[in-house]
Amino acid sequence: MQIQFEQLVREHGGRIRRIARRYAPTGSVDDLVQDILVRLWRSLRSFRGEARIETWIYRVALNAAMTSMKDLIRERELRTSLSEKSVTEHIAAPGGSEAEVLESFMAGLGEIDASVLMMYLDGLTAAEMSSVLGISDNAISVRINRLKQKFSDNYVE
């Protein structure tokens, strides 16, 4: 079990850190990464391998990120709106790289939309996203279409 876990951390560490970077308050990314790893370790036994490991990682990581007590209130005060923040506030500088566009677009989304975007970019299907978030495939598709529209409105000339 321990060897499998170490392998998981090695292979998916980048994904875990990226998720943490989106949700953790500045300076607390390492704490959230640690929290996610602890939860992954605790729930490793319940992972039956019936779904892709990425799907399971998203479940655990998003649960950790959004329900962690630590720093959540401070974070809440910093973010005035959860999901309706104007993307225009975060638009990357003209000529910015794809990575910068990704960073700025992600920063302008609320917690739930950001999680959908991450899973979409990671290639999860609507059904897989549905099993992570607990809402219907249809609802996921609606959100993805809205994200595409929002991106198009702000980044496509």
Partner 1 sequence: MNLDDLKKPWNAEVSQRSGMPFSETLRSTIANVRRDAQMRDFWMIAPLAVLAGGAVFFNWWTRDVVSVQSRIGVISIVTLAALVTVVLLYARRRSSYDDLTLKARLEREVDFLGRQVSVLLNVGYWFLLPMFLLGVVSSLMGHYERTGSYVPGLAFWRLHAVSLVVCLMAFWLCRREAQRKLAPLASHLKQLHRDLVSRSAGDSNGPHARI
Tell me which residues in 35-94 interact with partner 1 (CB under 8 A). Answer: 37-43, 46-48, 50-51, 55-56, 59-60, 62-64, 66-67, 69, 72-73, 76, 82-83
DSSP 82: S
**In the bound complex, what is the minimum distance in angstroms from residue 90's beta carbon to partner 1?**
14
Binders in 4-23 for partner 1, by CB under 8 A: 5-6, 9-18
Neighbours of 147 (CB within 10 A): 17
Residues 117-136 that bind partner 1 (CB under 8 A): 118, 120-123, 130-136
Looking at 29, 87, 91, 139, which residue binds partner 1 (CB under 8 A)?
139
43 or 86: CB nearest partner 1? 43
Sequence-distant (≥ 6) Cβ neighbours of residue 82 within 8 angstroms: 110, 111, 112
Least distance to partner 1, CB of residue 89, Å: 18
Contact by Cβ (8 Å): 25, 71: yes
How far is 32 from 71, CA to CA, in rounded Å? 10
CB of 82 to partner 1, least distance (A): 6
Q: Smallest distance from the beta carbon of 153 to partner 1, in angstroms?
A: 11
Integer Cα distance of 43 and 73 in angstroms: 26
131: nearest Cα among 64, 63, 82, 84: 63
